[in-house]
Amino acid sequence: MDQNLERLGSRELAAQLRDQILGGKLAPGSKLRSYRELAAEHDLAINTVREAVRILEQEGRVIIRHGSGAYVAETGTRTPEDQLRDLRSELEDVRRQLRKATSALSATEERLTEAMERLSR
């Protein structure tokens, strides 16, 4: 299957499953049908189905338990706004770590420069 068609299929399936979750047809805690069953039902490749479920996992709508299956996340799941807030927080943490590492690197460069100057005297 063409990769663009696969992406389109995974987005369409994710939208259908999302609608079922939001509409209450798939209740929190319930297990999604297997990838194989969903693939047969929607005439898609298993990899396409897997990608659709990953999309829903990234949205916080399903939880994938390896070896067990995918389950609808409990109510009070994270909204896209919650996810964005979490990502911004993670980004700020990374920035803080980078500033700390940059500071340590600068100090190391200064010590190295001083040591090289002493050696060249």
Same domain flag for 34 and 63: yes
Contact status, residue 62 vs residue 20, Cβ threshold 8 Å? no
For residue 49, the one-letter residue type is V
Is-contact 32 38, C-beta < 8 A?
A: yes
23 with 68, same domain: the answer is: yes
Alpha carbons 63 and 30: distance in angstroms, whole number = 10
Helix, strand, or coil (residue 1): coil
Report helix, strand or coil for 32: coil
**CATH number of the CATH domain containing 32:** 1.10.10.10
pLDDT digits (tens, 9 = 90+) for 84-108: 877 787 788 889 899 999 999 999 9
Q: Which residue has the tokens 């979490």?
A: 86
Q: What is the mean pLDDT of residues 56-80?
A: 84
Query: In this structure, are 84 and 67 located in the same domain?
Result: no
Gap between the Cα atoms of 104 and 97, Å rounded: 11
Task: Confirm if 72 and 26 have CB atoms less than 8 A apart.
Answer: yes
Query: Is residue 1 a contact partner of residue 45, using CB atoms and an 8 Å limit?
Result: yes
| C-alpha closest to that of 70 among 5, 26, 24, 10 | 26
| Same domain as 31, residue 87 | no
Residues 91 and 54 in one domain: no
| Tens-digit pLDDT profile for residues 44-67 | 999 999 999 999 998 889 999 989
Number of domains in the chain: 2
pTM for the complete prediction? 0.58
Quote the tokens at residue 25.
Answer: 């047809």
Give me the domain span that covers residue 40.
3-72
